[in-house]
Amino acid sequence: MKRILLQGITVLSGLISLLALVGLYIIHYFTEKKMGMARHMVYLRSKWRGPQIGPLFLHQWKVLSGMIVLSLLFLSFTKKAFGEIEKKEGFPKLSSKFSSKLLLLYGVCSLLFSYAYFFIAMTLKMREYELSILLLLLQNAMVVLCYGTYLWRTVWLRKN
């Protein structure tokens, strides 16, 4: 029962993370093509921004801190899953399974894409920026959840 639950959480969170990327593309497409959607995004931007603290607005600070927390959580999962860092090589020992390496690569690329999108879209003043960074935060949370449950499932299966 626990195995099915962990596998279900892994699959569901992976699907939600992919659907968040599809939603990001849909929002960008309709913001570029439909003027009503662009006006709505400008309205949401002014509503969600909040006070400016330093170079970023309050909403942006919240999302950036959420992305940093998720990145640190992802790195701690990776360190626990793949063992301690060896002093000779400098890299953690990777699992021999292709699926764990693929999930690790997807997680790292997803987090790097999120940081790049956060700062590039901020400098380009994209209209859908406020909603899209929330979708990216959701996507990163689902990637970390998917990765964590996958690793927990494999550790639990080794013990039982």
What pLDDT is attached to residue 83? 60
**Six token digits for residue 159:** 């013990």
Work out the number of other CB atoms within 10 angstroms of the CB of residue 113. Answer: 14
Those residues of the chain that have pLDDT short of 50 are: 85-94
User: Encoding tokens for residue 93?
Assistant: 């020992």
pLDDT of residue 123: 83
SS3 113: helix
* Global confidence as pTM: 0.76
- In this structure, are residues 70 and 144 in contact, taking their beta carbons and an 8 Å threshold? yes
3-state class of 52 per DSSP? strand
Q: Which residues pair with 57 in a beta bridge?
A: 52
Q: What is the pLDDT of residue 54?
A: 81
